[in-house]
Amino acid sequence: MRPVAVFVLMCAAAAASAQAKLEPLPEPLPPPEIAGPDEPAVRIPVQEKDKVEEVREGGRIVMLKVTPPGGKSYYLVDTTGSGNWMRRDPLDDGVRVPMWPIYIFE
């Protein structure tokens, strides 16, 4: 058992001494410059006559309240922070219950 351990140790020492010397890596390139603010450019199709109110959190727009003239207001919400706006109505809880008749009693 002892000769095998000595042999393995000598092989490991030989392999370690045979390795080439490592050269340091060059400095990485700086990241490219990004023009404009950190917010993504989002275009929301809102009519010119509509009243738009912004709700900001930490300098970012997280919700828009859109009130059309003579109409019911609705909200555009950025739930994930990725710039994908979803429409939410004021009384919308997000649950869609199926409302079709299964059986009608006569």
Global pTM value? 0.41
What is the full per-residue pLDDT of the chain (106 aa) written as tens digits? 788 888 888 888 777 776 667 788 899 888 887 666 665 565 656 667 888 888 888 888 888 888 888 888 888 888 777 778 888 776 666 677 777 778 888 8
Rounded (10°) CA dihedral 35, 36, 41, 46? -140
Q: How far apart are the C-alpha atoms of 14 and 18, rounded to whole Å? A: 6
Predicted pLDDT of residue 45: 64
Find where tokens 């059986």 sit. Answer: 103
CB 60 within 8 A of CB 52: no
Domain boundaries, the chain: 49-92
